Every structure is written in structure tokens, then in C-alpha cells.
Amino acid sequence: MKKQKRTNFRRITLESRIIRFMRLSCGITVREAGRRINMSDSLVSHFETGRSDLSETRIQQLVSVYGFVMKDFDEYRLGKPLPALGLKEDCINLLECMDEPKLRAVHAMLTSFLS
């Protein structure tokens, strides 16, 4: 049986959400982030979407490129809430924390708004 590539599935971690928040909060595009640390924009995207694992070295590089320090990153890692960058972003963050039964209830409610 063929082994499934890591990039074929997502495992969005707290670390990947923090990295994405940091990039968006300083207004850097995925392409620009990749250019600044000499890697492809698709790899940066894979880090943020949970398709590739983030090593501590990569985290340190990205945090620095985004103008933050590791102390900032560690505060978020230890439970400081990530500020929402918009209503849609806040909703997505909430959905990512829900289990399957709660997601089904939210889905039913949202679907009812469309009819």
C-alpha cells in the first residue's frame, strides 16, 4: 500500500496558528515570507496549514522574520489568546477548537441561514 504524503492531510497545531497570526499581523505575504528565509512560498503555506511540521529552528526563523521574538511566541504557546485579525478569522479559530458533535450543530445552524 502506498504511503500517504504528509502534505495530503492537515494537522493544524497551535504553533502553526501562531506563525500564521504573526505573519498576517505584520502584513507579510506568504511569498515574501518564503523569500526572506530562502524557501518556497508553498512550504511556508504548508507550515501554516498543518501540511508540514514546524521544527524549532523554522519557528525561530519565521518569528524573527515577522519582527517578533521567541518570548512573544512562547507566551502564545503557553496560553495567551491569539488576537483575531477579523471576524471570519475569529470564527475559524473557534471552529478549530470544536469537536465533531459541536461542529455538526454549528453546520446545521449555518446551513439554515442560507435557506
Q: What is the DSSP letter of 9?
A: S
Sign of torsion, CA 18 23 75 61? positive
- By percentage, how much of the chain surpasses pLDDT 90? 60
pTM comes to: 0.72
List, as one string, the DSSP characters of 82-108.
Answer: PPPSSHHHHHHHHHHT--HHHHHHHHH
pLDDT, one tens digit per residue, over 32-51 is: 999 999 999 999 999 998 88
pLDDT, one tens digit per residue, over 48-80 is: 988 899 999 999 999 999 999 999 999 999 999
